Amino acid sequence: MKSILRRAALGLAAATILMAGHAGAVQAASLVQISLWDKGASTEMAMGLAYATQGLDIAKATMGIKASPGAVKAGEVTFKVINDSKDTVHEMIVMYLAEPGKPLPYLENENRVDEDKAGDKGEVSELDPGKSGTLTVDLKAGKYLLICNVPGHYGAGMWAEFTVDP
């Protein structure tokens, strides 16, 4: 009888440990792989490809951001960012879109987004070619835009929509 009770207690303990481990895994940060890419410094930079531009043809972009996956659950999100360029510095900034489909505030004289007004949630600052960095942020459900805000890059199509589901 003691043997049966001991086995039952050990089984219950193992089940509890497994369930606790599973609960911890559910709360772990979502991981998003980010590639910052371009067609090379010798390629003329496209213009007029900022998010929400009328008649936008993103296929003409000479640089961009690829996020995988493109959607995660709300909570802690870790972005692992790599600059896949061979010769150009890039960065990745997470912007909350309070009004999806509307242009971000832009500083024409600086050829970049006004980060303070746009809803900057965090960034991996300027990365040299081939370098990487990480950013972990707590994100609520909604639409976001991942951008490179090095002057001219955002307008050349260096952005990606990103969704955080409830």
* 83-122 tens-digit pLDDT: 999 999 999 999 999 999 999 999 999 999 999 899 899 9
Place of tokens 């972009």: 61
Characterize the bridge pairing of strands 90-96 and 142-147: antiparallel
Domains of the chain and CATH, by start: 29-165 (2.60.40.420)
Whether 42 and 62 have beta carbons less than 8 Å apart is answered as: no
How far is residue 105 from each of residues 38, 53, 64, 139, 161, measured CA to CA in Å?
24, 12, 19, 21, 16
pTM of the predicted model as reported, rounded to 2 decimal places: 0.83
